């Protein structure tokens, strides 16, 4: 989708990338000033007669809302492959498209709870592998931490820092002790911790 001179590449939605797709799509819809229509929708008149009876200002607003809705749908459609498009092909508004995609990929609360349990277990069982670097391990931890957060888990920097410190390779034991004795993990960001570890690495 072109916007001025900039070419915007829209990520295609797959079975496994809904969270990342959603973040990018929100940014794009927001930049095009149509995210509100996709999330909240707009009021359609109940009949043709009701539409005819609208005052001129209401008709102008309705035309504007319909145009924004079409723009939002058009942007979302560009991020879908053929099989995913079939799921939403029969829905009328961008709000219905947005909600259908959410329900399809995020599922009901029960599925979300199961997903959270799985992610929690994955987070807790993380261990640094040899010859993995601090940067690579940090990336693995943050991927799971961000998935947990996107699924509703409250995950503080302190908890992530503690997880990293207790799951490092044994060769970092003396560094872990030094950091725990000299730094306050409550006020230290995860990035600062990783920076300190990389210095010693």
Q: Which residues contact 73 (CB under 8 A, 6 or more apart)?
A: 93, 94, 97
In whole angstroms, give the CA distance from residue 167 to residue 141. 10
Q: What DSSP string runs through 31-56? A: HTT-HHHHHH--PPPSSHHHHHTS-H
In whole angstroms, give the CA distance from residue 127 to residue 141. 9
Considering only residues 170 and 1, tell me which one the structure prediction assigns the higher pLDDT: 170
Q: Report pTM.
A: 0.61
The model's pLDDT over 139-181, given as tens digits with 9 standing for 90+, comes to 999 999 998 988 888 999 999 999 999 999 988 888 889 888 8
Is the Cβ–Cβ distance between 165 and 180 less than 8 Å?
Answer: yes
Sign of CA dihedral 148, 151, 156, 157: positive
CA-based nearest residue to 22, from 90, 83, 95, 76 = 76
User: Confidence band (pLDDT; 50, 70, 90) for 109?
Assistant: low
User: Confidence band (pLDDT; 50, 70, 90) for 118?
Assistant: very high
Residue 200 pLDDT exceeds 90? no
């Amino acid at each position: 989708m072109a916007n001025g001179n900039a070419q915007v590449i829209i990520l295609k939605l797959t079975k496994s990338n809904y969270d990342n797709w959603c973040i990018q799509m929100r940014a794009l819809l927001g930049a095009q000033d149509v995210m509100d229509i996709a999330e909240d929708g707009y009021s359609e008149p109940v009949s043709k007669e009701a539409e005819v009876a609208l005052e001129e200002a209401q008709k102008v607003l309705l035309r504007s809302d319909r145009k924004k809705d079409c723009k939002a749908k058009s942007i979302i459609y560009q991020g879908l492959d053929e099989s995913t498009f079939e799921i939403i092909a029969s829905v009328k508004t961008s709000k219905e498209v947005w909600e259908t995609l959410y329900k399809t990929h995020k599922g009901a609360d029960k599925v979300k709870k199961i997903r959270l349990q799985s992610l929690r277990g994955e987070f807790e069982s993380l261990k640094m592998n040899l010859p993995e670097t601090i940067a690579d391990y940090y990336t693995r931890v943050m991927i799971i931490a961000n998935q947990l957060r996107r699924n509703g888990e409250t995950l503080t920097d302190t908890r992530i820092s503690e997880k990293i410190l207790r799951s490092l390779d044994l060769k970092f034991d003396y560094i872990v002790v030094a950091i725990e004795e000299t730094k306050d993990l409550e006020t230290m960001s995860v990035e600062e911790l990783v920076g300190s570890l990389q210095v010693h690495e």
